[in-house]
Amino acid sequence: MALTDVVLLSSWNTFISLFVLALVSTSLARRLHAWYRLRHIRGPFWAAFSRWWMIRHVGGDRMHLDLREVNDKYGPLARIGPDTLVTSDPNLLRRMLGVRTRYRRSDWYDAMRLDPARDNVLSMRNDEKHEELRAKMAAGYSGREVEGLEKRIDEDVAALVNLVERKYLSTDTDYRPLDFGRKAQYFTLDVISHIAFGDPFGCLATDSDMYEYIKTTEDNLPAIIMVSVLPRLSKALQSPILKSLLPSDKDPIGLGKIMGIAKQVVGERFGANKKVQPDMLGSFIAHGLTQSEAESETLVQILAGSDTTATAMRATMLHILTNPRVYSKLLAEIIDKAPSSPIRDAEARQMPYLQAVIKEGLRIFPPVTGLMSKNVPEGGDSFNGSLIPEGTKIGYSAFGLSRNRAVWGNDADVFRPERWLRATPDKLREQEAALDLVFGYGRWQCLGKNIALIELNKVFVELLRKFDLCIVDPTTPWNSKNRGIFTQSEMWIRATRRDYV
């Protein structure tokens, strides 16, 4: 080898070595800087240097409990990533979410895009555009402009009762258990599609997962939540190759099929021969939603409105059926009040124990557990005397908040509806303010809160007045997994006819 070649090779090797050293040094410096700026906030050791803690725990089935344990161990504000904190403190959360907050949605919300190239009301990070979208949809979600809103929900409650009577009534000689985990979601899917664009999907009528929507959504949840931890993946999904792998409105099943239905239904509301209907979609369009916006927001309704309300139904029902004292008191109130059948929403709101049961169900098992992190504003913030640098992301620990003993007392892990009936006025205000955070708060409060509460106000009364229900196997009551929202099935219940209510 010529001397010049040796010199060139040596120089090249030196260059490569220096380049690698520079990369390692830069990465190390970046990690040390990230650790240093939040060194005063405790958390799992490796979370200060890497996202691996978040990736590992998001990839499991119990992220809600992992976040709670972090707050229990390290305090109401704890570190779970190089630039990410999580809090279970209701006062800090209200400051972050208030109408006049300077906090902004973080890149966590990029994972909420159903189309990686287009935002919706859940993913929109531009505050002005987000407020515009909410304003266009507020009247529809409130129900003020949805003709026969409560009547439509009544029809779906009746369909759920009818399904149990047709196929799942057990007797001493005939055992017919029902999977309430699935039936609850059939119900919420039918409700949201019924009030959104006029007709239910038909899950209850067919007793099936129409278009395999539930199955495909559950299969895709791990990928969606992983994007929330690694937001750069959201941009990668906009590439033509990866985008071709995402659901399409041409798909025969799954989310793609629902996209196709939404596109078809929305298309009928625009153009020369447009259809005008007094449903939620009609309200959205009347207030200025464009055709593409209407397609996107209709999908969001279905995704956000069915899974979460179904979880609230399942979890509350589980706690009712496994607490004989609560079960008997609620049944006694139903007998005593003898409300209409189906019960009217206004009647349900006048049943104090029912309302306490619903509130306690939402408290002890909040259905939305994603971090939903916000960016600390310019100039930073402080919490309990500790500075939080600007740009830091602070997420929400749903189960940390719901079991916070400073708010709920030493029996925070106990399902006790009486805490809503026996609290002092000041304590009740504190509890109500903390419970409000389950539905978001301030500028980011859940638009579907009113509809979800109407569903909950009706379904427990109608099922318990018609049927005597019990959990088949109290030792394994359900198959419940958490990936920001819950997937729950195999919640086997035995239903027998109740003749004396």
Pairing of strands 84-87, 393-396: parallel
375 phi and psi angles, rounded to 5 deg: -85, 130
């008191």: which residue's tokens? 329
Strand partners, 104: 375
User: Binding site, residues?
Assistant: 446
DSSP string, 244-281: TTS--TT-SSHHHHHHHHHHHHHHTTSSTT----SSHH
Cα–Cα dist 338/351, whole Å:
10
Half-sphere exposure (Cβ direction) of 457: Cα atoms closer than 13 Å: 23
Q: Express the helix, strand and coil content of the chain in percent, nearest 5 each.
A: 60, 10, 30
Measured at the CA of 303, the angle between CA 300 and CA 305, to 5 degrees, comes to: 90
Name the DSSP class of 487: E
User: Binding site for heme, residues?
Assistant: 446
């509460």: which residue's tokens? 453
Strand partners, 30: none
What single letter denotes the amino acid at residue 261?
Answer: I
Cα torsion through 370, 105, 111, 313, rounded to 10: 30
